[in-house]
Structure 1
Amino acid sequence: MSILITSANSAAAYQLKSKLFTGDIILGDYEALPDLMIKSGKMLRLPDPKSASYSHQMLTLCLDKVIDEVYALRDEEASLLREAEQLFFEYGIKIIYGN
């Protein structure tokens, strides 16, 4: 199972990562991330929630990266993903809000 935790620039993302007992966790953020971490594959650049097609971009990213669960830590991300939760569910992707 692959898990994506948003808000990689926050301490909350790292705290959550340490609480989860699985090895396949990816951190991602739409805010600036170190290029070294992105190139190494340890972090993902996520779509900006201000984009009109944010939910579809996130779904595409999850399908491309074979992500089964998304922990949406930022309110703006969570709000948009809540609206598309059924769509993600149809593809077997669980959205978890907050930490």
Structure 2
Amino acid sequence: MKILITGGNNSKALKLLKAFPNHFVLLADYGEMPSVITEKYAFASLGKLNEDSIAHILLNFCITESIDCIIPLHNFEVQPISKSSVLFGEYGIQVLLPEADRIEKYIKTENDLQSDFAVFIGGECIFSTNQSFPKAEYKELNGVFGFDNQCFKLFTV
């Protein structure tokens, strides 16, 4: 599986590499990016930032690069991509975000500081930085979430 993680210039994106050891991860961001390609990951530029057409830019990039799954980490990408998840799905691209009508409750405020994060796909926790985290099913969760005391907020930059 080929996974696109946006915000690739941020250390949070690099932390996510641990969650996908058996997949190829493309760490992408807007503007210039380092030219690094390894067996497990690579960096890529998404071009010039245009917040008005984020969903279009990312969908086009995903199709061009044969991406199977996208994890948007920039705050400004979250809502447009969540609203466009059906369109991404039509191209076989899984969007790891909550449904658009539920996303507001998972957007963090400046005061939300979570030290741990977990990756959920369709309610199932596939990775957690906290080894004592109960890997129970959280049916509503889809995406990468920071958490403290079972309070989940999107893991964004």
Q: TM-score, normalised by structure 1?
A: 0.81
Aligned residue runs from structure 1 range 2-81, under 5 A: 2-34=2-34, 36-37=35-36, 42-47=42-47, 48-50=49-51, 52-81=52-81
8 Å contact kept, 2:3–2:23: no
Percent pairwise identity: 31
Helix, strand or coil at the partner of 2:63: helix
8 Å contact kept, 1:17–1:25: yes
| Higher Cα Rg, which structure | 2
Residue of structure 2 in register with 1:92 after alignment: 92
Report the AA paired with residue 58 of structure 2: M
Q: Give the structure with the higher percent helix.
A: 1
User: C-alpha root-mean-square deviation of aligned residues, in Å?
Assistant: 2.1
Count of paired positions = 95
8 Å contact kept, 1:49–1:77: no
- In the TM superposition, structure 1's runs of 4+ consecutive aligned residues that sit over 4 Å from their partners are none
Deviations 1:1-32 (A, max 9, x none): 11001111111111111221323111001144
Unaligned runs of 5+ in 2: 98-142, 145-157
Q: TM-score, normalised by structure 2?
A: 0.54
